Amino acid sequence: MKYCCLLIFLTSSSFCLFGQATWEIGAMGGLTAYAGDVNEHTYFDYKVRGAGYGLLLRRHFGPVFAVRLNYLGGTIAGDESHFPEPFWRAERAFKFSSQFHEGTLLLEWDIFGYRRRNGWRFRKIFGPYVFAGAGYNYFRTTADYNDAYRENPIVPLERILADKQVLPPPPTLVLHFGGGFKWDISRYWLLGFELGIRPVFSDYLDGVSIAGIPGNRDWFAFAGISVSHRIRDIDSDRDWIPNRRDKCPLSPGPPRYRGCPDADGDGIVDDHDECPFVRGVPSARGCPDADGDGVQDSLDLCLLVAGPVTACGCPDRDNDGVPDMEDLCPDMPGLHHLDGCPDADNDSIPDPSDACPYVWGVALTFGCPDTDGDGVADMLDVCPDEVGSWIHFGCPDTDGDGLPDYDDLCPRQPGLSAFQGCPDTDGDGIPDYLDRCPTASGTTAFQGCPDTDGDGLPNPDDRCPYAAGPASNMGCPELKKQVVRQLQEAGKQIQFETGSDKLTDASLPVVKRVAEILKNYPNYRVTVAGHTDNQGKRQRNQELSERRAARCVQKLIELGIEPERLTSAGYGQTKPIATNSTAKGRALNRRVEFHLVRMH
């Protein structure tokens, strides 16, 4: 009811204003909704609503853009007992109510504002507008943590106590954005509906942070109706006192108070009267004070018993500003945010709950120092200057292998406890730092390296790791005479099409056999020599022999022989092995020869 009365008062005040078309003033009222820790959803919940009221002042810059100074006050509320599920919310039953005052500066875009002008005439329109800006929100929250619920808490009691001990925050930065619709009732009067969303740069709008989801910022929304008027500054309050001489130009008042009202007639003008509608006394700033202690009754927690202002009008034996009825340490001067208990080391943990009351500490370690901030008190921390975990008595395990760094020979590499924290990448039972071949499984005899061909030489020392050979030949097989004869016979069987370097189909299997032989002797280079008979011109025979030798090399490369092992040479008709006088001799002279030379 009090919000409705205030809204009517503010709205009626704005109706009395009129002036230049570039300025606009108005009032608004509506409902608020909240999203945060005391909410079953990640979006706004409207089961518990608050009331909002406010004022606005617009300065128009052209037909569509305006800067708006916005004030909003009211309440925001939330109650977990409304939620049927999950069960723990209804059982926990946190609830809160926040009184807030907010001021924001907004940039507003009246999308169809240009349509109001029809030449020199004014035209009424109905259209949308959007706005965005920022400001500050001053709120004071009353949170109910359901004390009966502490007997079997899901949330640890210390987290609830931590939230209770948080000081009321200063004015908090808030973003403000939204939109709505405007309707021109007349040339000077406008009716509007808008929805504004506000992310608050605080997690204490609801009074719950550590006991809920720490660091999860709260949001709230306001949906309401506004009435505004384009003003001209003449006699805004119509009290027959011009604004230039009126100390209260927006509120009508008598001349003896220079235009300021005194609604309750107590001799204190309303601007200076904190209770303008109830007669009061000057010592209480115009408010009633039944016990005469200088604290107005609306703020006096003990109406009939005098007490100091610092204790809200209630007795305070230790004079610490906390009323005795709220003071957990009524005979020891303490701090307000610690419910009247002292804090000798200034660590925000009351001395009765501080395990180290004379040494600054943190709540996580019950008031004792934790130099490295790892949650292990220094007096229990084996490594007090290094962040660690409880399981390792406060010492780090950098590589996360279960061994603390001080016991880990390889603290930067995850390893096995059998090797004092060092890895064994290839799983051969030899730790990497002792393993000559850490990525290939081997044996102790070869320092962790494999011997694939089983010739007694580890692969790194074996020029032919996949073909067994003696150490004298660096692990490569010896070239046998039988193999040389096979290559010689193969060369005689390789044939080409007449006058061409193209291999015949019958020669392709022969070349493949040659390639298989060469793969078994990777430590040998091969020279492919081409020869012809004496038929035809000498120069042409020379070129043909070179092309045929090169063709054989190309085919061997295609069959997997390394190019660097192969060379080709053509000798034409210069090196016959038989007479060119007969067909049989010429056939023997048309040949390919393979010459092998060991590379080491």
Per-residue pLDDT, 179: 96
Select from 258, 563, 274 the least CA-distant residue to 266.
Answer: 274
For the segment 102-120, the average pLDDT, to the nearest whole number, is 84
Percent of the chain with pLDDT over 90: 27
SS3 3: helix
Q: How confident is the model at residue 90 (pLDDT cuts 50, 70, 90)?
A: low
Rounded to the nearest integer, the mean pLDDT of the chain is 83
Whether the Cβ atoms of residue 313 and residue 295 lie closer than 8 Å to each other: yes
For the segment 16-23, the average pLDDT, to the nearest whole number, is 48
Percent of the chain with pLDDT over 70: 86
Domain ranges of the chain: 23-231, 481-598
pLDDT of 242 above 80: no
Q: pLDDT by residue (tens digit) across 555-599?
A: 999 999 999 999 999 999 999 999 999 988 888 888 899 998 887
Q: How confident is the model at residue 514 (pLDDT cuts 50, 70, 90)?
A: very high
Q: pLDDT by residue (tens digit) across 275-327?
A: 888 888 888 888 988 888 888 888 888 888 887 887 788 888 888 888 888 88
Per-residue pLDDT, 41: 56
Of residues 412 and 215, the one with the higher pLDDT is 412
Per-residue pLDDT, 153: 61
Per-residue pLDDT, 341: 92
Q: How confident is the model at residue 88 (pLDDT cuts 50, 70, 90)?
A: low
pLDDT of 58 above 80: yes
pLDDT of 65 above 90: yes
By mean pLDDT, which of 147-156, 446-455, 481-490, 504-513 is the weakest? 147-156
Per-residue pLDDT, 17: 35
Whether the Cβ atoms of residue 100 and residue 138 lie closer than 8 Å to each other: yes
CATH number belonging to domain 23-231: 2.40.160.20
For the segment 222-242, the average pLDDT, to the nearest whole number, is 77
Whether the Cβ atoms of residue 171 and residue 137 lie closer than 8 Å to each other: yes
Of residues 232 and 431, the one with the higher pLDDT is 431
Q: How confident is the model at residue 491 (pLDDT cuts 50, 70, 90)?
A: confident
Q: List b or e across 160-179, with b for residues whose CB sees 16 or more CB atoms inside 10 angstroms.
A: bbbbebeeebeebebebbbb
Give the H or E element holding residue 543.
helix 538-558
Of residues 96 and 414, the one with the higher pLDDT is 414
C-alpha to C-alpha distance for 100 and 112, rounded to whole angstroms: 33
For the segment 337-348, the average pLDDT, to the nearest whole number, is 88
The gap from C-alpha 52 to its chain's centroid, in whole angstroms, comes to 33
Per-residue pLDDT, 432: 80
Of residues 178 and 153, the one with the higher pLDDT is 178
pLDDT of 11 above 80: no
Per-residue pLDDT, 236: 73
Whether the Cβ atoms of residue 330 and residue 324 lie closer than 8 Å to each other: yes
Whether the Cβ atoms of residue 388 and residue 398 lie closer than 8 Å to each other: no
Of residues 408 and 27, the one with the higher pLDDT is 27
SS3 396: coil
Q: How confident is the model at residue 44 (pLDDT cuts 50, 70, 90)?
A: low
Whether the Cβ atoms of residue 527 and residue 520 lie closer than 8 Å to each other: no
All residues at 6 or more sequence positions from 235 whose CB lies less than 8 Å from its CB, including other chains: 241, 242, 243, 246, 249
C-alpha to C-alpha distance for 174 and 274, rounded to whole angstroms: 28
- For 481-598, the fitting CATH number among 1.10.3720.10, 3.40.50.720, 1.10.10.10, 3.30.1330.60 is 3.30.1330.60
Strand positions, DSSP E, 395-543: 524-531
C-alpha to C-alpha distance for 366 and 364, rounded to whole angstroms: 6
Per-residue pLDDT, 194: 95
SS3 87: helix
